[in-house]
């Protein structure tokens, strides 16, 4: 079965640095999402992306975040200037339609 993949699996960065988290959604999917999960807490929606633009974003997704689909396969989340509280598991998800979302294995981001 096709899978969503994410790289890297673990990223350690210093506060103030920029990070780019990468995702390869399932190839024929049209809708893309980023979620995050701070350790011990629930999964929170960050942003959804469709037709090469953001369709919705949460209040967490402020100006330090951006998303891009630079080519036909990758979907990236950039955090411009990381803060300690950005430490979390970041999940990418994709879906063909408005139904089932398939999640990637996540990238664990540690900001020191």
Partner 1 sequence: AQTVTQSQPEMSVQEAETVTLSCTYDTSESDYYLFWYKQPPSRQMILVIRQEAYKQQNATENRFSVNFQKAAKSFSLKISDSQLGDAAMYFCAYRRIAYSGAGSYQLTFGKGTKLSVIP
Q: Taking the complex as a whole, how short is the minimal distance between the CB of residue 36 and partner 1, in angstroms?
A: 11
Q: Taking the complex as a whole, how short is the minimal distance between the CB of residue 78 and partner 1, in angstroms?
A: 20
Output Rg (C-alpha) for the chain, integer angstroms.
13
Residue 99 binds to partner 1 (criterion: CB under 8 A): yes
Q: Which long-range contacts (CB under 8 A, 24 or more apart) does 78-82 make?
A: 78/18, 78/19, 78/20, 78/21, 79/18, 79/19, 79/21, 79/109, 80/18, 81/16, 81/17, 81/18, 82/13, 82/14, 82/15, 82/16, 82/17, 82/18, 82/19, 82/109, 82/111
Residue 94 binds to partner 1 (criterion: CB under 8 A): no
Residue 103 binds to partner 1 (criterion: CB under 8 A): yes
Query: What CA–CA distance (Å, rounded) separates 5 from 25?
Result: 7
Q: Taking the complex as a whole, how short is the minimal distance between the CB of residue 49 and partner 1, in angstroms?
A: 9
Number of residues that bind partner 1 (CB under 8 A): 29
Q: Taking the complex as a whole, how short is the minimal distance between the CB of residue 23 and partner 1, in angstroms?
A: 13
Restricting to residues 28-47, which ones interact with partner 1 according to CB under 8 A? 31, 33, 35, 37, 41-45
Binding site for partner 1 (CB under 8 A): 31, 33, 35, 37, 41-45, 48, 50-51, 55-56, 58, 89, 91, 93, 95, 98-106, 108
């Amino acid at each position: 079965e096709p899978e969503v993949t994410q790289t890297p699996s673990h990223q350690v960065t210093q506060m103030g640095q920029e990070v780019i988290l990468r995702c390869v959604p399932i190839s024929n999917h049209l809708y893309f999402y980023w979620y995050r999960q701070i350790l011990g807490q629930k999964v929170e929606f960050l942003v959804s992306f469709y037709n090469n633009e953001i369709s919705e974003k949460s209040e967490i997704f402020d100006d330090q975040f951006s998303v891009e689909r630079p080519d036909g396969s990758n979907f990236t989340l950039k955090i411009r200037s990381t803060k300690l509280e950005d430490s979390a598991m970041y999940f990418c998800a994709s879906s063909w339609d408005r139904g089932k979302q398939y999640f990637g294995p996540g990238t664990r981001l540690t900001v020191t």
